[in-house]
Homo-oligomer: A and B are copies of this chain.
Amino acid sequence: VGKPKFQSERLFEVAPPGVSTGLAWTSMGGATLYIESIKTDSTKPGFRTTGQMGDVMKESSEISFSYAKSDLLRRSPSNEFFEKANLHMHIPEGATPKDGPSAGVTMVTSMLSLALGERVSDNLAMTGELTLTGVVLPVGGIREKITAAKRSGVTKVILPKLNEKDWDELPDFIREGISVHFCENYDQVFDLAFPNISSEYRKKDQQPIAASA
């Protein structure tokens, strides 16, 4: 009552480490969605979420947490962040029910951004289901999501490779102003989300966890 389902306004001029931008799809259209992760404790490791998440999204957050841990272990074996930190991940707005698996890549990016102390690339939004070994699966609502992204000032969007056909079918006036990147696995998302990160974390010489088809 009196309040829209999702704010279309931009919440951050410069988002701090731990914040990533996702794209949601509701019965009322697309929406930009922020995912926030903070560390609340350094001695009791743990993980907890808020944001009125449904069952599928809760599982998606567990998958993302497990993947983020295994991914950081691979990139930086000496990094003890997840062994010590108590993590809280929230998706505003608090009163809006959310569900579905399509924020997987965005959740992992939020957690790795916090763990690495590295801000996510400006004006970048992403959507994609993630499997436990890092494969990026396709999602719905591409047209609505791109429209919402533009409304929030987003200029770069990461989509699953398997959604390439949906992008191709969009009219030019919707695609205009968005630079799109298609990803098959999370390693490709990582490189786009953290373009300035120290090369030691890139592991270009190493195989991705999942070598997608």
**Chain A residues in the interface with B (C-beta under 8 A):** 1-3, 7, 9-16, 18-19, 34, 36-41, 43, 48, 50-52, 55-56, 59-60, 62-63, 65-67, 69-70, 83, 88-90, 92-95, 100-101, 104, 129, 131-133, 135, 137-141, 162, 207, 209-213
Q: Which of B19, B38, B40, B94 contacts A59 (CB 8 A)?
A: B94
Tallying the copies of this chain within the complex gives 3
Tell me the bound Cα distance from A195 to B130 in angstroms.
30
Contacts of A138 in B (CB 8 A): 3, 7
The 9 closest A-B pairs by CB, nearest first: A94-B101, A90-B132, A2-B140, A36-B132, A50-B59, A66-B88, A92-B131, A40-B66, A13-B213
**Minimum C-beta distance from A24 to chain B (A):** 14
- Most chain B beta-carbon neighbours within 10 Å: one of A16, A131, A211: A131
Contacts of A135 in B (CB 8 A): 11-12, 92
Do the beta carbons of B40 and A70 come within 8 Å of each other?
Answer: yes
